[in-house]
Amino acid sequence: MANHVLLNSTDHQNLKVITEREEKYGDNVWFTLTFPTEFRSVQAYYPIFFNKDSSTGQFYAVALFGFQENENLFLSKDGWQAPYIPLSVARQPFLIGVQKVVEDGEEKEQRVLHIDLEHPRVSQDKGEALFLEFGGNTPYLDNAADILETMHHGLIDSKLFMELLIEHELLEPFSLDMTLNDKSQNQMVGFYTINEDKLKTLTPDTLAKLHQLGYLQAIYMAIASQSNVRALMNKKNEQLGL
């Protein structure tokens, strides 16, 4: 069970974070959250799709690593086999918390850095130190804080992006039927992709608005990322040894 606490140098002076990429550290995920400002980096290696939260009905973008639960085809005995790891994976075991503070007599919410003490990456013995011996953050912890800040703003931006995709009917269900080298039939369902036919019918004003917001580029990045599905299938076949 997760145990999220406010990170501080007094209680957590000796904590370390293991940075190796292995299944036992929770890297065996088949997709992870991403957002438009990260699409340029993500699309170079991973297919980008969209998923719908069944409990809230909200859409969000994901980077795909495999075709089934607990399958990350980028993991090997030598670690994560891609130069870029999406930030929602790279940030673990850290997360953003909210703390109420009083400024000029007014109560405000302030973002603070939390850590999951039960995460398998958290250690007392090995890994990257979080705090310097005589006080202050290590460069590793500062980088983790920067990742979370980037994610915070990226996910806020993503809400408007998704609203515009829905408004202009730019999402359509996606399914993939695969025949692997072992002759097994596999199907991937439940994801969405960009409706390119709808995209072609957008008015110049709408395209200009999307371009101005940086979303038109994100849309084309998501479309371009679909070419990575074939590379992912090749990884799957290699794993089968056929």
Cα(145)–Cα(140) distance, integer angstroms: 9
Task: Name the one residue in this structure whose structure tokens are 């340029």.
Answer: 40
First to last CA, the chain: 39
Domain of 27, in residue numbers: 4-240
Q: Are strands 106-116 and 94-103 parallel, antiparallel or unpaired?
A: antiparallel
pLDDT tens by residue, 9-36:
888 999 999 999 999 999 999 999 999 9
Sheet holding 16-17, edge to edge: 122-123, 16-17, 128-129
pLDDT tens by residue, 152-174:
999 999 999 999 999 999 999 99
Strand ranges (E), the chain: 4-6, 16-17, 31-34, 48-52, 59-64, 75-76, 79-80, 94-103, 106-116, 122-123, 128-129, 171-179, 185-194
Strand partners, 186: 178
Is 192 in a helix, a strand, or coil?
strand
Please report the pLDDT score of residue 180 as a whole number.
81
Find the Cα–Cα–Cα–Cα dihedral 27, 31, 33, 34, rounded to 10°: 100
Please state the domain count of the chain: 1
Please report the pLDDT score of residue 54 as a whole number.
85
**How many CB atoms lie under 10 A from the CB of residue 4?**
15
Low-confidence ranges of the chain (pLDDT < 70): 101-102, 104, 242
